[in-house]
Amino acid sequence: MQSTADAFEDLRKDFPVLNRRVRDNKKLVYFDNAATTQKPNQVIDAISDYYQNYNSNIHRAVHALAEESTEAFENTRDIVAKFLNVEDSREIIFVRGTTEGINLVAYAWGRDNVKEGDIIVTTEYEHHSNIVPWQLLTQEKKAQLKYIDIDDNGELMLDQLDDYLSTGKVKLVTFSHMSNVLGTISPVEEIVSKCKNAGVKVLIDAAQSVPHMKVNLNEIGCDFFVFSGHKMLGPTGVGVLWAKKEVLEKMSPFLGGGDMIREVHKYETTWNDLPYKFEAGTPNIADVIGFAKAIEYLEKIGMDNIRNHELELTKYALEEMKKIPGLTLYGTKEPEKRGGVISFNFNSVHPHDVGTIIDKDGVAIRSGHHCAQVLMEKLNVAATNRASFYIYNTKEEIDVLIAALQNVAKVFKL
Amino acid sequence: MQSTADAFEDLRKDFPVLNRRVRDNKKLVYFDNAATTQKPNQVIDAISDYYQNYNSNIHRAVHALAEESTEAFENTRDIVAKFLNVEDSREIIFVRGTTEGINLVAYAWGRDNVKEGDIIVTTEYEHHSNIVPWQLLTQEKKAQLKYIDIDDNGELMLDQLDDYLSTGKVKLVTFSHMSNVLGTISPVEEIVSKCKNAGVKVLIDAAQSVPHMKVNLNEIGCDFFVFSGHKMLGPTGVGVLWAKKEVLEKMSPFLGGGDMIREVHKYETTWNDLPYKFEAGTPNIADVIGFAKAIEYLEKIGMDNIRNHELELTKYALEEMKKIPGLTLYGTKEPEKRGGVISFNFNSVHPHDVGTIIDKDGVAIRSGHHCAQVLMEKLNVAATNRASFYIYNTKEEIDVLIAALQNVAKVFKL
Amino acid sequence: MSGDPIYTEMIIEYSRNPSNFGKIADAHIHQHDANPLCGDTIDLYLNIEDNKISEVKFDGHGCAICMACCSVLTEMIKGKNLDDVKKFDKDELLSELGLQHLVKTSPVRIKCALLSLKSLKFGIYSYFVDKMKDSESAGNLNEEAANLY
Amino acid sequence: MSGDPIYTEMIIEYSRNPSNFGKIADAHIHQHDANPLCGDTIDLYLNIEDNKISEVKFDGHGCAICMACCSVLTEMIKGKNLDDVKKFDKDELLSELGLQHLVKTSPVRIKCALLSLKSLKFGIYSYFVDKMKDSESAGNLNEEAANLY
Ligand SMILES: Cc1ncc(COP(=O)(O)O)c(C=O)c1O
Ligand SMILES: Cc1ncc(COP(=O)(O)O)c(C=O)c1O
């Protein structure tokens, strides 16, 4: 790649939506990347190409199209495995997204392994998809759900984890690699090593980390790892659950149906090998194939370059936002400890109103609880504004956001 | 539309893959439509258009792109509801496909309503996705799974249903509207009225019917109804579960996570309204939007015209195939009682070999158990060949299939 | 920014100084509702005397639109006959604030505007069931509330 | 159709008249396996004497490729030393029938060809665990079988 800022500027041309004009012919500034990212032509075209040229159901047929689609589909599994440094691509299971992946674990692993009185530990900054499945499970099993609280800096209070682990009742510790609201990057190594010492399983919700930083699953040492393709240039409807082969092999199946079976008889059935045991029914073939192109695109830029680019944007944005009177920033002040996600509130103006007003200037941020109401309760707010960055964002766009926020003050006569 | 055969010939131009040459430059003859159908440009373009112009996560944000994508997504729900003659589009729940839809019912309804000793009735000609979830459920609950057998004509023996119902223990009767192997169309009215008289819930696996015939859910009177978009010109990764509002409201949720909640607190959560209660996490937005175009495409042709076109092809194919010595046809001899699906075996040649040999002539059929091993056991075969038709198929293509089958005889020196 | 189709003087003013803001202890009707999309919650309190809304208050978090609509709604129904209140519809409320256009232009923000009305309908629904034994009116209210957006 | 890269005389012939077709009652090793993609199942029966495959038979449904491969595999291992059999690899089997090209050209049909070998490896795996107490060989066999396709 050529030298950084230019190179990143250059890749904007691959994203057709970035040419969009919105509202009164305003240039789109897309800062809602933590919700979903935009897609490059490479991904969009791969999906069209599949439908135009070799669309077919996979795995079972012997005809030409089926062979081509099966190969492209399975090739994606290998690409995902390499991207995460996973040796055995049979450990890669395609799901709809992070939410389905976590629920799969809660049903297929949780129902067999969590008993009355057991503890599942999560954190205060989790997305609803890493809370609700465990509420459902612990309620069903009369087990307990415990939270690691966050401190004023938005960081996890790990001594609470020690307390929980010391009870000997913890079966699973589950946490997000990066908070989708505060941007806080969790101390993965420390958590995993504590859990491993206690013989406790670990699930990492990587929805916000895998798109933005290098991840090496061979080193992390967790047991389950889940993320969504649509938050990393990929199509909607594809996500990944990774787990160790030994764990997956012992797990009961989740959804029953085609492809996940070896032999079906009237009253008993045997399960297929990994990963198929957990991929019942026709998968989202086109989008899995498109997802491969998203990973290739990210790898070409380099995950470390992406992390640096976002860090630069985040530093710049934090500096500029600090200058705005009445603006409250959430999360740690140290940019190195966070990803490219900035949550803020502006005077007493409700985030919904901020969102609507700056949207008129073409700026797309998210305003709401970000599916993190437990965290909102902790921060003692109903909602926040959130600007989140990705590879195609620029400092100039941050300037537009800043100007738009000034405008909010005018509308509300602050 | 202009007069039928021509009109159907005409629409082939909308399907780019039909111009494919496969193997030794053979024209593709795609007869694997029961597995998945091809997609018209209208659907492919709608997906690209979404990603190129208004890709955004839905429901929660107030910015322009989010409003556009939310509207297109929710508009699909209305289109599906109208297509099925469902009055309240909140009863339409988007899932990945038939398999996920049936599993959703088995988990969210089944776990609460099926108790030890209860009976679930299915049939011998079900797809694995309408057997395995019920095996899992009945095993877990120590309930019983019972089968309605089929007679020599490939039709259900309904007096067995009477016997089961008379025990008073049946909680659910679940069956496919059309068999994906035999093409048999189930006597829906009769089954539903028997079940309603007995106060028993009914699930219809409509994966093979909705794509091929007019369905009026307002008249059928079943409780659950499930099908897949990819078998009806739509993208992979989208399906529909319909159920009555009263049933859905009483059901526990299935997947926990974003969008399906009203309020999340640390230790308790309240559920969102229908349909969102059952749509946790970021849905497959692009493909749901693309799916709307598939339905519009089908409606423009007219479902009755489609049924007639396929009936004509089926009659023709059956006639021609009967002339081939050594060819065994499965299922009823009356074309009116079946859809455009023909399963057959050819002398003692294994279906896999038939499939591979005719694939060299460009003909794509499916060879295998078609995810219906219980039926295979009944038919006393390991596998069959299956040719299945859709709107773009022609009599000339059937001639190519017939010629290709003659060739199999030559290879095997029959 | 004069002429902003949403953030009029009136709405900004209401969002600063909502009317009828607060709780009623032991209210005859207490309805809690939330907008699952943004986390806003409101609590609506009503006292009924002689089939009239004798007292009404609301409490909660919400955006300017939500606060203004809650304010205006409570102002409009105070002292009104239950039979009139039960017929109250969204156009009446929206037009009072010049927000009718939201129905078309903003499927998301319309939910902020109508949360108050939804709570009202669900709130008096229970009252019609329990106190008035008027299941027809109750059924209608329930339907209306569910179909509001 | 002479020159068909799959359906050679030899394969057609084997599919008509498979070698070593049948069951062995009370076999020392009985391995059942299925190809989940097509429903084909085979049962492989082995007797072992003096560390040699003294008897071998197979039974089941399968396509011409599967039947031919089962036939050839059983022919090739009959009488062989267990240590040699354990090293037997897919190239040996495929080249005997001229089917090496399937590895590249047909990800689906290669599974038909190698079902026999997979069953063999899983079958003697258990034998190495239970009878030979040779966990290293067993582990290798298990890995090989799982990674065959
Ligand atoms: C009758 C029937 N039911 C269920 C399914 C499963 O559908 P899907 O694979 O889209 O989940 C199919 C198709 O494979 C089918 O034909
Ligand atoms: C941390 C985190 N976890 C889980 C999710 C849920 O992902 P999805 O909606 O793709 O299932 C998200 C995104 O919404 C997230 O940010």
Q: How confident is the model at residue A256 (pLDDT cuts 50, 70, 90)?
A: very high
In angstroms, what is the span from residue B266 Cα to ligand 2's centroid?
18
Chains touching A (3+ CB pairs < 8 Å): B, C, D
Q: Is A99 a pocket residue for ligand 2 (Cβ < 6 Å)?
A: yes
pLDDT at B113 > cutoff 80: yes
Q: Does C127 reside within a domain?
A: no
In angstroms, what is the span from residue B127 Cα to ligand 1's centroid?
7
Question: DSSP readout, B117-144?
Answer: T-EEEEETT--GGGTHHHHHHHHHHT-E
CA–CA separation, B238 vs B292, rounded Å? 11
Chains C and B touch (3+ CB pairs under 8 A): yes
pLDDT at C2 > cutoff 70: no
For chain A, give every residue range classified as CATH 3.40.640.10.
Answer: 45-299
* Three-state SS sequence of B87-109: CCHHHEEEECCHHHHHHHHHHHH
Mean pLDDT of chain A: 96
Q: Answer yes or no: CATH 3.90.1150.10 is held by domain A4-30+302-411.
A: yes
Q: Name the residue of B184, B228, B343, B369 whose CB sits within 8 Å of the most ligand 1 atoms, as the mutation to test its pocket.
A: B228
pLDDT at D79 > cutoff 60: yes
- Could you list the residue range(s) of the whole structural domain that residue C96 is in? 9-116
H helix and E strand count, chain A: 15, 17
CA–CA separation, B296 vs B290, rounded Å? 10
Q: How confident is the model at residue A3 (pLDDT cuts 50, 70, 90)?
A: low
Chains C and D touch (3+ CB pairs under 8 A): no
CA–CA separation, B229 vs A157, rounded Å? 47
CA–CA separation, D61 vs B37, rounded Å? 30
Phi/psi at A85 (5° precision)? 60, 45
- Give one word for B347, left, alpha or beta, with left for phi > 0 and alpha for psi -120 to 50: left
CA–CA separation, A110 vs A120, rounded Å? 10
Question: Nearest bound ligand to CA A386?
Answer: 2
For chain A, give every residue range classified as CATH 3.90.1150.10.
Answer: 4-30+302-411
**Pick among A24, A132, A352, A359 to test the C interface (most C CBs inside 10 A):** A352
Question: Pick from B330, A19, A409: which is nearest to C1 by CA?
Answer: A409
CB B226 within 8 A of CB B239: yes
Question: Nearest bound ligand to CA B185?
Answer: 1
Q: How confident is the model at residue A104 (pLDDT cuts 50, 70, 90)?
A: very high
Record: contact B257-A359, CB cut-off 8 A = no
Residue A290 amino acid letter: G
Q: Is A132 exposed, middle or buried (0-12, 13-18, 19+ CB in 10 A)?
A: buried
Query: What pLDDT score does B215 carry?
Result: 98
Q: Which of B371, B383, B404, B408 is catalytic?
A: B371
CA–CA separation, D67 vs A59, rounded Å? 21
CA–CA separation, A219 vs A6, rounded Å? 33
Query: What pLDDT score does D11 carry?
Result: 95
Comparing A207 with D108, the larger pLDDT belongs to A207
Element (H, E) at A192: helix A188-197
Q: How far is B388 from chain D (nearest CA, A)?
A: 18
A116-130, B308-322, C54-68, C100-114: lowest mean pLDDT where? C100-114
Write out pLDDT tens, residues A107-148: 999 999 999 999 999 999 999 999 999 999 999 999 999 999
Chain B interface includes A285 (CB < 8 A): yes
Chain D interface includes A140 (CB < 8 A): no
Phi/psi at A117 (5° precision)? 90, -20
Q: ∠ at Cα C77 (C73, C80), nearest 5°?
A: 170
Q: Does D66 reside within a domain?
A: yes
pLDDT at A298 > cutoff 70: yes
Q: Residues of B numbered 42-81 whose beta carbons fall under 8 angstroms of chain C's beta carbons: which are they? A: 59-62, 66-67, 70-71, 74
pLDDT at D86 > cutoff 80: yes
pLDDT at B36 > cutoff 60: yes
Structure tokens at A345: 């509130």
pLDDT at B169 > cutoff 70: yes
Active site residue B371: yes
Strand residue runs (E) in B229-279:
239-243, 261-264, 269-271
Q: Does D127 reside within a domain?
A: no
Closest residue in A to B386 (Cα–Cα):
A61
Q: Which residues of chain B lie closer than 8 angstroms to C146, CB-CB?
A: 273
Question: Pick from A226, A224, A228: which is nearest to A192 by CA?
Answer: A224
pLDDT at B335 > cutoff 60: yes
Mean pLDDT of chain C: 91
> For residue D32, what is the domain's CATH number?
3.90.1010.10
Contacts for B256 with CB less than 8 Å, ≥ 6 apart = A99, A103, A106, A128, A129, A131, A132, A133, A135, A136, B269, B280
Question: DSSP readout, B275-298?
Answer: TGGG--SS--HHHHHHHHHHHHHH
Comparing B220 with B4, the larger pLDDT belongs to B220
pLDDT at A2 > cutoff 60: no
Contacts for B298 with CB less than 8 Å, ≥ 6 apart = B83, B211, B232, B233, B306
CA–CA separation, C68 vs C11, rounded Å? 5
* Class of the CATH-defined domain B45-299: alpha beta
Query: What pLDDT score does D3 carry?
Result: 58
pLDDT at C4 > cutoff 90: no
Residue A274 amino acid letter: L
Q: Is B217 exposed, middle or buried (0-12, 13-18, 19+ CB in 10 A)?
A: buried
Write out pLDDT tens, residues D46-74: 999 999 999 999 999 899 999 999 999 99
Total domain count, chain D: 1
Q: Does C128 reside within a domain?
A: no
Burial code (b: 16+ CB inside 10 Å, e: under 16) for A296-329 equals ebbeebebebbeebbbbbbebbbebbeebeebeb
Which residues partner with B261 through β-bridges?
B271
Question: Nearest bound ligand to CA B97?
Answer: 1
Query: What pLDDT score does D35 carry?
Result: 85
Residue A316 amino acid letter: Y
Structure tokens at B134: 């019920």
Write out pLDDT tens, residues C44-93: 999 999 999 999 999 998 999 999 999 999 999 999 999 999 999 999 99
Contacts for B175 with CB less than 8 Å, ≥ 6 apart = B122, B123, B126, B130, B148, B156, B186, B191, B203, B204, B205
Write out pLDDT tens, residues A363-390: 999 999 999 999 999 999 999 999 999 9
pLDDT above 70 as % of chain C: 98
CA–CA separation, A176 vs A202, rounded Å? 11
**Pick among A51, A70, A408 to test the B interface (most B CBs inside 10 A):** A51
Q: Is B176 a pocket residue for ligand 1 (Cβ < 6 Å)?
A: yes
- Give one word for D63, left, alpha or beta, with left for phi > 0 and alpha for psi -120 to 50: beta
Query: What pLDDT score does C36 carry?
Result: 79
ipTM of model: 0.94
CA–CA separation, A235 vs A17, rounded Å? 14
Question: Pick from B298, B294, B300: which is nearest to B234 by CA?
Answer: B294
pLDDT at A176 > cutoff 80: yes
Q: Does D45 reside within a domain?
A: yes
Write out pLDDT tens, residues D103-136: 888 888 899 999 999 999 999 998 898 888 888 8
Q: How confident is the model at residue D2 (pLDDT cuts 50, 70, 90)?
A: very low
Question: Closest partner residue to D109 among A62, A263, A276, by Cβ?
Answer: A62
Query: What pLDDT score does A4 carry?
Result: 72
- Say if residue B253 is preceded by a cis peptide, omega within 30 of 0: no
Query: What is the mean pLDDT of the segment spanning D23-47?
Result: 91
Q: Does D149 reside within a domain?
A: no
CA–CA separation, D120 vs D142, rounded Å? 11
Question: Pick from C31, C111, C23: which is nearest to C66 by CA?
Answer: C111
In angstroms, what is the span from residue A285 Cα to ligand 2's centroid?
21
Q: How confident is the model at residue C3 (pLDDT cuts 50, 70, 90)?
A: low
CA–CA separation, A408 vs A344, rounded Å? 14
